[in-house]
Chain A
Amino acid sequence: KAGVTQTPRYLIKTRGQQVTLSCSPISGHRSVSWYQQTPGQGLQFLFEYFSETQRNKGNFPGRFSGRQFSNSRSEMNVSTLELGDSALYLCASSLLQGDNEQYFGPGTRLTVT
């Protein structure tokens, strides 16, 4: 069974721009969660989508948003990029909403200059 895929794998953007990242979950998984990983803050939960609706969210500003499509694929958008948004963005898929058993993709490395 194919794992979680994320595109693109690497991205360089300029401060003030916006960016969209994509995640395809494991086949049959209906929940997608997004995380930000930085050396200083570690792995932090951004939000979770299930059945095309945001079901849970972490403590991030409104510049971070997402959506989920009917095929469970998800996108994450960051607007008005700041230098501090440079991070590895990971998505994780799980069978059900609020599931503890989550499987991560390889991540998208975002660099903001």
Chain B
Amino acid sequence: QKEVEQDPGPLSVPEGAIVSLNCTYSNSAFQYFMWYRQYSRKGPELLMYTYSSGNKEDGRFTAQVDKSSKYISLFIRDSQPSDSATYLCARWGSNDYKLSFGAGTTVTVRA
């Protein structure tokens, strides 16, 4: 079983819509959950990260963790065409000290 499972999509939304991205995880060790954005032909860019049970908001982006269901989510409000990219969730665990990535979800925001 993979450490992090992510629906690869693709996801297409109109400009201004809320984008909702989800991943599930299996490990219960102390861990951080990261969200990266990757544009075509570029390296992943760290957007934000949360602790095992924390939520975080940064501008139009909100990351949430639901420990009971082992679900992590990223919401993008007022989406823009420039948000079109692949979004990767990742887990960093205190048991192995390395990042394990989901498959990535490709998002297209239509103008």
> Which A residues are within 8 Å of any B CB, using their own CB?
4, 33, 35, 42-45, 48, 56, 58, 90, 92, 97-98, 100-107
Q: Does B92 sit at the interface, judged by CB under 8 A?
A: yes
> Which B residues are within 8 Å of any A CB, using their own CB?
32, 34, 36, 42-46, 49, 88, 90, 92, 96-104
Distance in angstroms between the alpha carbons of A101 and B46 in the assembled complex:
8
Q: How many pairs of A and B residues are in contact by the CB < 8 Å rule?
A: 49
Residues of chain A with a CB closer than 8 A to B99's CB? 33, 35, 45, 92, 100, 102
A105 touches B43 (CB 8 A): yes
Q: Is the interface of A mostly helix, strand, loop or mixed?
A: strand
Residues of chain A with a CB closer than 8 A to B90's CB? 43
| Known contacts A42-B102, A42-B103, A100-B32: A90-B46 contact under CB 8 Å | no
A43 touches B44 (CB 8 A): yes
Distance in angstroms between the alpha carbons of A58 and B100 in the assembled complex:
10
Q: Looking at the assembled complex, report how far the CB atom of B48 sits from the nearest CB atom of chain A, in whole angstroms.
A: 10
Residues of chain A with a CB closer than 8 A to B101's CB? 42-44
Choice from B43, B97, B103 contacting A4 with Cβ under 8 Å: B43
B44 touches A42 (CB 8 A): no
B100 touches A56 (CB 8 A): no
Residues of chain A with a CB closer than 8 A to B98's CB? 33, 45, 48, 56, 58, 98
Residues of chain A with a CB closer than 8 A to B104's CB? 42-43
Distance in angstroms between the alpha carbons of A35 and B90 in the assembled complex:
13
